[in-house]
Amino acid sequence: MKLQRFALALAGAGLFAASAVSGTAVAKADPCFSAVGWVKADGAVGSVDVIAGNPPKVKPLVDFKFFGAKASGSWYLAQNASATQLYYYGVFIQAGNLYRHTTYINQDTGAVTPKIAKVSGGWASFKTIATSNYSIAAPRHSYIYGLNANGKLYRYSQVGTAVKSLGNFAGFASFKALTVVSETPTYDTLLMTTTGGALYTVRIPVAASTKPVLKQVRKTGFAAYEAFTAHTCGVRGGSLIVGVDHDTDSAYLWAFSKFNGAATATTAYGKVPGTFTGVTTSPFTTHYDQLVGE
């Protein structure tokens, strides 16, 4: 089954180790790829592997039934302690509520069985969310970042099956798309775009009293995108970014060197084949793949 192949491949070690992003372009080695998933209006989940190249290529994966979602964080692939069960987990917003899902994969048949549980209410005013998952060493953290219609960026910690508010940051009224590009013991970094098309990194220290640090990567060119996905590419901190325009159901691919404001190098691969018909789009990754893009 294609879904089983995707799950097993994604769980393998050294997924992105063969490729590298240099100061100017992606090195000529085995190409990086992004695993991109989206929840459709009917609650089904579609997904593809987007393979870096000029032009980009895709490997479609089988759809499966899920639930309606207004916004979704990353989907993390994991396995149980005995390595007998593969599953995704993550959070999503539906009808103003935050839900946690555990989506089980039958390794013999490829069948997918999602189970959800309500975490909390009060999420109707959030436009989009992203999640971080620093899990490879202590101190670990698992955060939800939510962009609210009131112009503030909120942060929550995920503690067991509950969430705890860690406050908010003002000044984000002009922003719309966001995804996590770095997860470290001391900070997370978001990649965000404005309604005017500017692209920024937003470094948010783990320390609750510290304000975000914004760096402009590009002044224009990113106004069309309502969603981003990010995956590590290579061993030098590069990122493969897919931007999705939900108005036209289309996606575009870029490789970025390690983010460093306006000095960040970019390779634009252009339009990704196919249609991206999601209400919300998310990166598919694993519990152990840490993002190191900034």
* 83: Cβ contacts below 8 Å, ≥ 6 apart: none
74 burial (CB, 10 Å; 0-12 / 13-18 / 19+) is buried
Average pLDDT of the residues of the chain: 89
Q: What whole-number percentage of the chain has pLDDT above 70? A: 89
- C-alpha radius of gyration, the chain, whole number: 18
Does residue 17 carry a pLDDT above 60? no
Least confident of 24-38, 63-77, 176-190, 231-245: 24-38
pLDDT tens digits for range 24-51: 334 344 579 999 999 999 999 999 999 9
pLDDT tens digits for range 166-201: 999 999 999 999 999 999 999 999 999 999 999 999
| Residue 48 tokens, joined | 């593809």
Does residue 7 carry a pLDDT above 80? no
pTM beyond 0.85: yes
Write down the residue that tokens 């971080």 correspond to. Answer: 132
Q: What is the pLDDT of residue 30?
A: 57
Q: Are 110 and 1 in contact (CB under 8 A)?
A: yes
Q: What is the pLDDT of residue 161?
A: 83
Q: Strand, helix or coil at 37?
A: strand
